[in-house]
Amino acid sequence: MLTKIVRTVANQLILFIVIFGLYVIVHGHITPGGGFQGGAVIVSGVVMLLAAFSSQELKKSLRERVLTIVESSGALIFIILAFIGIGTVFFYNILVGTPIFGRIPAIGPGPGDIWTGGVIPLMNFAVGLKVIAGLSAVVLALALFSGGEEVEE
């Protein structure tokens, strides 16, 4: 555990990092970004917390059971969204034309419209959830392991 200044600054900064990461995830279909990129930004915030507080402290907040459930459900939402279109073809974009994310973008330059893209923004959310939970578990497990503790099961 590092000094009080570092801990206070880390506590304040994590909010901005999480908001920036969520911005990158949500706007994945109109600007560069998407599920993995935004998730990696948020996990870099978790690594900052891991360096400021020790891994034993962080283990009390990020419990392993919760991380497993979030990770599996993120992947499940992705695959179920792909299966929804199986009436036509697997991965078919059935939300085009419906009010949920269904508008067609105008051709040519202009401000990006977030309510376009069909199934793709929802898949970005699912992948973002999975990456946050998965990479946090990996980073936490490596920190605990090199500190000498074995994670059983």
* Interacting residues with another protein (CB under 8 A): 30-32, 36, 65, 68-69, 71-73, 75-76, 79, 82-83, 86, 88-93, 105-106, 108-112, 135, 138, 142, 145-146, 152-153
CB-count exposure of residue 92 (10 Å: 0-12, 13-18, 19+): middle
C-beta of 18: minimal distance to another protein in Å?
A: 20
Q: Which is nearer to another protein, 6 or 70 (CB)?
A: 70
Longest dimension (CA), the chain: 59
Q: Which is nearer to another protein, 10 or 128 (CB)?
A: 128
C-beta of 120: minimal distance to another protein in Å?
A: 11
C-beta of 4: minimal distance to another protein in Å?
A: 31
121, 101 Cβ separation under 8 angstroms: yes
Q: How far is CA 95 from the centre of its chain?
A: 22
C-beta of 26: minimal distance to another protein in Å?
A: 15
Q: Which is nearer to another protein, 31 or 56 (CB)?
A: 31
From 20, 37, 18, select the one nearest 28 (Cα to Cα): 37
Q: Which is nearer to another protein, 5 or 109 (CB)?
A: 109
| Region for 15 from its dihedrals, namely left if φ exceeds 0, alpha if ψ lies in -120 to 50, beta otherwise | alpha
Q: Which is nearer to another protein, 49 or 144 (CB)?
A: 144
C-beta of 132: minimal distance to another protein in Å?
A: 14
What would the DSSP string read from start to end of 51-96? HHS-HHHHHHHS-HHHHHHHHHHHHHHHHHHHHHGGGTSTT--TTT
